[in-house]
Amino acid sequence: MALIVQKYGGTSVGTVEKIEAVADKIAKFRDKGDDIVVVVSAMSGETNRLTAMAQDIMDYPTPREMDVLLSTGEQVTIALLSMALEKRGFPAHSFTGGQVRILTCETHTKARIREIDGTRIHAQLEQGNVVVVAGFQGTDEHGNITTLGRGGSDTTAVALAAALDADECQIYTDVKGVYTTDPRVVEDARLLDTITFEEMLELASLGAKVLQIRAVEFAGKYKVPLRVLSSFEEGPGTLISLEEEKKMEDPAIAGIAFQRDEAKITVSGIPDLPGLAYNVIGPVSEAGIEVDVIVQNAAADNTNDITFTVKRSDSDRAKGILDNLQSSLQAREISLDKKIGKVSLVGVGMRSHAGIASKMFKTLATENINIQLITTSEIKISIVIEEKYLELAVRSLHGAFDLAEGEITEESN
């Protein structure tokens, strides 16, 4: 008998029928004798419906009232799911974020959880109830309703699991778990049994949008075993665990992430003086543009090139800012390339396995793919290439590192 926190997202509870299916799923766990705390999101579409009404009134709705408005979305779901459980003979008790209580800071629309009081939930579990909690929301110390921002329900689930000392936190979603790469690009992409928190963080931030980054950070910090699995299909999903729990024979590379929504800006021929990187990147950041990869290279002629990537939608603005600064930077040229793609290999095993980078470069060379940028971290190697080669690069790397279904353990030695 375990205490399990389960989280069901908006698409999993998008209709009354789907809510009934979720109740069926929960019923099976109850039949096994597990204690269940369920965290739910708003029914899919509901948040957009509410936001649209607010924006009919004002372009930038008052944040406090926006939270009052949006928090109704999950409140509807907890009531309906509790009813569906009652109907199946499983007594249930719903809680809004404020009722739990989930105490947050006062930053409306993107509050952070400060404290959770598990007393009321434990009392309901002891009475044999399934506890159904509204995700995404809480209250500040003055009793104002706050929300955690989009995707905050994952964070609620993990935070609850930590506060209740749950045995596992299960995030139900519309995918079967975490794959070695996007199955739409590589047909034989493999579903991972386990992945470490660090690997998951790198994969999530690189675009494998399975879990909220904040939730993963939280789970790692509080050592909450986190499992991603499908609402709609049976299967164990992927367990996100601490590094020490990874098996020796696990491969060095956990997965391959890629992104095609970036653009590359190169500022070349700048006199090689201190403060150069700041002079280039500073003005772009200050304009609220997020900079991803940054690479700097000294040239032989005492000038310097700085290349960086930004979201493709921000790239014209970033270029414009630098064009205005060209003379003060004394830069020879400023160029923008929108046709790039980024590919990243991620794996904690990289630390102990030599030759991952060279194997990656060799694989791409064999396919005649030219590498434009390289950055590396402890558990990640990212390269930027011409966009048209993106799928080819991902597929050939997936093959080269034996990530496909049924070829798991042999490559790493």
Residues that bind a copy of itself (CB under 8 A): 16, 19-20, 50, 53-54, 56-58, 61-62, 64-66, 68-69, 71-72, 75-76, 78-80, 82-84, 86-87, 92-94, 96, 98-99, 143, 145
Query: Given phi > 0 = left and psi -120 to 50 = alpha, else beta, which region is 177?
Result: left
Strands lying side by side in the sheet with 340-346: 255-259, 340-346, 380-386, 371-377
Question: Cα separation of 261 and 339, whole Å?
Answer: 9
The CA radius of gyration of the chain, in Å to the nearest whole number, is: 24
Q: Which is nearer to a copy of itself, 20 or 391 (CB)?
A: 20
DSSP one-letter code for 292: E
Q: Which is nearer to a copy of itself, 27 or 277 (CB)?
A: 27
Q: Which is nearer to a copy of itself, 46 or 198 (CB)?
A: 46
Q: Which amino acid appears at position 103 of this protein?
A: L
Q: Which is nearer to a copy of itself, 132 or 276 (CB)?
A: 132
Question: Cα separation of 386 and 84, whole Å?
Answer: 51
Q: Which is nearer to a copy of itself, 82 or 196 (CB)?
A: 82
Helix (H) or strand (E) holding 54: helix 46-57
Residues in the chain, total: 413
Question: Cα separation of 191 and 152, whole Å?
Answer: 25
CB 20 to a copy of itself: min, Å: 7
CB 55 to a copy of itself: min, Å: 10
Q: Which is nearer to a copy of itself, 65 or 243 (CB)?
A: 65
Taking a C-beta distance cutoff of 8 angstroms, is the pair 319, 334 a contact? yes
CB 48 to a copy of itself: min, Å: 14
- 10 Å Cβ neighbour count for 363? 17
CB 230 to a copy of itself: min, Å: 23
Q: Which is nearer to a copy of itself, 92 or 348 (CB)?
A: 92
CB 76 to a copy of itself: min, Å: 5
Q: Which is nearer to a copy of itself, 2 or 123 (CB)?
A: 123
The candidate with the shortest Cα–Cα distance to 100, out of 156, 19, 27, is 156
CA distances from 39 to 48, 166, 169 (A): 20, 13, 10
Task: Indicate the Cα dihedral angle 47, 125, 5, 92, nearest 10°.
Answer: -40
Q: 258 Cβ partners below 8 Å, 6+ apart?
A: 181, 182, 185, 206, 207, 341, 342, 343, 344, 390, 393, 394
Taking a C-beta distance cutoff of 8 angstroms, is the pair 195, 255 a contact? yes
CB 130 to a copy of itself: min, Å: 12
Helix (H) or strand (E) holding 227: strand 226-230
Question: 384 in helix, strand or coil?
Answer: strand
Q: Which is nearer to a copy of itself, 79 or 400 (CB)?
A: 79
CB 29 to a copy of itself: min, Å: 20
Taking a C-beta distance cutoff of 8 angstroms, is the pair 130, 30 a contact? yes
Q: Which is nearer to a copy of itself, 98 or 251 (CB)?
A: 98
CB 110 to a copy of itself: min, Å: 17
Question: Cα separation of 347 and 381, whole Å?
Answer: 9
Q: Which is nearer to a copy of itself, 152 or 251 (CB)?
A: 152
CB 71 to a copy of itself: min, Å: 8
CB 62 to a copy of itself: min, Å: 5
CB 10 to a copy of itself: min, Å: 15
